[in-house]
Chains A and B, each alone.
Chain A
Amino acid sequence: MKVELSINGETRSADVEPRKTLLDCLREDFGLTGSHTGCEHGVCGACTVLLDGEPARSCLMFAVQADGYEITTIEGIAPAPGELSVIQDAFCEMHGLQCGYCTPGMVLTATALLRGTPQPTREQIVEAISGNICRCTGYGQIVEAIALAAERLALANAPKAAKR
């Protein structure tokens, strides 16, 4: 079946079997291997993408169900090649990743959270990433990274004096 998907602002098309998940389609047909294959049944969150800005499991839907959505993968998060988004930068700075397997899902989930809730409480951050499993950092630094990113985004347009 032919699908036409809007991914990271571009329209891409592929000929896929109806049974192919969106995750496999992103990775195999479009080479977007930043969306990771983890448990393949919706538990781990490694395959998280944004559908119209909201996090969703790309392993729990078929590519043929994804037309009409604005899909954002981790490849669509950085402002320019070789640069990092504020959230990605905060993950590096706070050591919010070790092996990096869960990181794309975490970053996309955090991106959606901070768009809707620019100043989240710790509880809101924890709730937002509760569907994303990390097996190395122990979550502490991930939560701190998201809090730091929120702070930086809030001060991005503030006068210098407010930044101290």
Chain B
Amino acid sequence: MLAQDAEARVIAGGQSLVPMLAMRLARPTRLIDILRLPALAGIRDNGDSIVIGATTKQATAERDPQIAAKLPLLAKVFPWVGHPATRRRGTIGGSIAHADPSAEIPLAALTLGADIIVRDANGETTIKSSEFFLGPMVTAIPQGALLTAIRFPVWPQQRLGTGFHEVNARHSDFAFVCAAAQVALDEAGRCSACAIGVGGLGEYPVRLDHAADALVGSDLGDATIADAVATAMAQLDIWGDLHASADYRRRTGGVLARRALSDAREVANKTATARRQ
């Protein structure tokens, strides 16, 4: 049905799509409800990755102990995703397929370098999250294909830390700016792996890979973080709107990215201390 009707849309939790229908921003010819297809829901631990089925509810993932233990950055963003009532209907795949530029789950998926799995009549394809978000509410899902699951890589390092910060008008409203970071520290306390992403700044969330590369091998000192983030932020195309100007977003994005990184460093440091005791 999806392949035959270009104007058909898939619906699962409906927490983003139905508001768009109500405001007549989307006018699909057909809605195809996938929420109750059992094969599309569920959380599978593959050791080095965790695969989350597209229709897994956000509230289910939020309470899942495997996600809390192995995908701490994803676990950290859930309280910021809508409200408790919308998280009980809203799905992980729906949030990613909807691709709101300020949404937290797409930011976490991009920052962690998740793979997006889509299926059509010809079979399954994997799209890298870095190539998935093309614009506001525009993704690389091919015509006629269905997002079926998201594969999140699990970092093997023991000393992991994460950070997430967001600025919005009211808690759980759309983010003006948000930033997510995950770092790993080696035995000597130096950064061995780093990922940092920012959302709400432009057409889609972005990873600050240059900043992350610059920080690997460093001691993640505040000044080092500030330098790396400032250089990366200067290169971004940032938009402004009624809520927040481009200048405000650039400045705040930098501050939140620095805070997310320093929080992540502190959490990783504490993990090490806890283990020694």
The chain A residues found within 8 Å of chain B, CB to CB, are 18, 21, 40-43, 45, 48, 51, 54-57, 59-62, 65, 109, 127-128, 130-131
The residue that B84 contacts in the complex, of A40, A65, A130, with Cβ under 8 A, is A130
In angstroms, Cα B13 to Cα A51, docked, is 13
* Residue in B82, B84, B171 whose Cβ sees the most chain A Cβ within 10 Å: B84
The residue that A61 contacts in the complex, of B14, B79, B171, with Cβ under 8 A, is B14
Chain B's closest residue to A57 (CB) is B85
> Could you show 25 A-B contacts with beta carbons less than 8 Å apart?
A18-B31, A40-B22, A41-B18, A41-B19, A45-B85, A54-B85, A55-B84, A55-B85, A57-B85, A57-B86, A57-B89, A59-B22, A60-B14, A60-B15, A60-B18, A60-B19, A61-B89, A62-B31, A65-B33, A127-B79, A127-B84, A130-B83, A130-B84, A130-B172, A131-B82
Q: Is B256 an interface residue when CB atoms closer than 8 A count as contact? A: no
The residue that A48 contacts in the complex, of B22, B33, B82, B85, with Cβ under 8 A, is B85
Q: Is B274 an interface residue when CB atoms closer than 8 A count as contact? A: no
Chain A's closest residue to B170 (CB) is A130
Chain B's closest residue to A49 (CB) is B85
> What A residues does B112 contact at CB under 8 A?
none
In angstroms, Cα B238 to Cα A47, docked, is 37
Q: Say yes or no: A56-B22 contact (C-beta < 8 A), given A65-B35, A130-B172.
A: no
The residue that A42 contacts in the complex, of B18, B33, B84, with Cβ under 8 A, is B18
Chain A's closest residue to B172 (CB) is A130
Q: Say yes or no: A42-B15 contact (C-beta < 8 A), given A56-B85, A57-B86.
A: yes
In angstroms, Cα B85 to Cα A59, docked, is 12
Q: Measured between C-beta atoms, what is the minimum distance from A36 to chain B in Å?
A: 14
Contact A128 B19 (CB under 8 A): no
Q: Say yes or no: A55-B88 contact (C-beta < 8 A), given A41-B23, A130-B171, A131-B82.
A: yes
> What A residues does B15 contact at CB under 8 A?
42, 57, 60
Q: Measured between C-beta atoms, what is the minimum distance from A156 to chain B in Å?
A: 25
In angstroms, Cα B84 to Cα A109, docked, is 10
> What B residues does A41 contact at CB under 8 A?
18-19, 22-23
The residue that B88 contacts in the complex, of A18, A21, A40, A54, with Cβ under 8 A, is A54
Q: B2-45 interface mask toward A, CB cutoff 8 Å, 1 = contact, 0 = none?
A: 00000000000011001100110000000101010000000000
Known: A41-B22, A42-B19. 10 other contacts (CB 8 A): A21-B18, A41-B19, A45-B85, A54-B88, A57-B15, A57-B86, A59-B18, A59-B22, A60-B86, A131-B83
Q: Say yes or no: A61-B85 contact (C-beta < 8 A), given A130-B171, A130-B172, A131-B172.
A: no
> What A residues does B23 contact at CB under 8 A?
41
> What B residues does A55 contact at CB under 8 A?
84-85, 88
